[in-house]
A and B are shown apart, each in its own frame.
Chain A
Amino acid sequence: MDSMRIIEVKQSIFADNDEDANKLRSRLKEQKTFLLNMMSSPGSGKTTTLVRTINALSDRLRIGVMEADIDSDVDAWTIAEKTSAKTIQLHTGGMCHLDADMTRQGLKELGTEEIDLAVLENVGNLVCPAEFDTGASKNVMILSVPEGHDKPLKYPLIFTVCDALIINKIDVLPYFDFDMDLVREYAKRRNPKLKIFPICAKTGEGMEAWCDWLYQEVMEWNK
């Protein structure tokens, strides 16, 4: 038997994922497909926000959706029933997040040739999805009012990696001790460039500003 030897590696565990993510990002850029990675806690209103967003933009953009969950296909059915977007369901097999290679496989299944905007609805979780770059053009997260304004302090990484923060369920603000000024301050402290959009996905309030921003970003990317 050969003798054991020490091999120095000195490499971040995330290095291979970062490399996959960068490859995927440049391929998507070349073929003019914008990938939006949407992250949040479970129950913050990702799917409802997505339905409204798709319906606001579907006359201008060809949209595809990948719903990622540990199990079930309820979200994919909701999107398929309420919008005209092409939708597929991804199962992560117990994993709490998607990585770049899983995203690549999902996009292959979805078919990106005829898609201007591909949306990845990541697994509901504020911790793990933030650690794995999916290859997205932009990252967005949703924080809903009932979750509380202290989340940027408790889950700093996700607020750091996101380009935009949607604050959903503003219709219930009168019933919660949610301080809108404080959440802005906490989030900006983590990420001064963060765009913030207070919305109510149920009533449609604030959706225009969010959809305009997204549309501009897609046009810029796909130029």
Chain B
Amino acid sequence: MHELGIVVHITKTLKGIAKENQLKEIASVSLELGEVSGVIPEILTDCWNYYRKKFPLIEEAELKFETLPAVTYCEDCEKTYPTVQYGKKCPHCGSDHTYLIAGNECNIKEIEAC
């Protein structure tokens, strides 16, 4: 259910942008979600479809998704690797002194509006 909380925050941000740019209607909202952001697009869309009806500004707005790949960096061998496939353990050297450098994103990329 954190998707509902995220929808509330997206809406807040959109209201601010609408005010700044004097927008009346938003047709689409493009999001960038990292592979390991923990946000599930299908559930986010369900929450969005419920919540958008409450606000004329976003009533007709479609949610679009772009997935950003998750990448982990290994401190020991200084190489990177795809997080989803290998997790915490570096596939190059077997070390677990690794940390995520990308893939946790949860961004509003752009909107289409008038």
Contacts and interface: CB of A to CB of B under 8 A. Distances in A.
Mostly helix, strand, loop or mixed at chain B's interface? Answer: mixed
Given A8-B109, A13-B107, A14-B106, A128 B13 contact: no
A131 interface: yes
A118 B111 CA distance: 39
B38 interface: yes
Given A1-B114, A2-B114, A4-B27, A11 B108 contact: yes
B92 interface: no
A189 B107 contact: no
A94 B114 contact: no
B4 A95 contact: yes
Residue picked from A3, A128, A157, most chain B C-beta under 10 Å? A128
B105 interface: yes
Given A13-B106, A14-B9, A7 B2 contact: no
A13 B6 contact: yes
B56 interface: no
Interface of B: 1-2, 4-6, 8-10, 12-13, 16-17, 21, 23-24, 27, 31, 38, 88, 96, 105-114
Interface of A: 1-17, 94-97, 99, 127-128, 131-132, 153, 157, 189
7 contacts: A5-B114, A7-B23, A9-B13, A9-B109, A11-B13, A95-B4, A157-B38
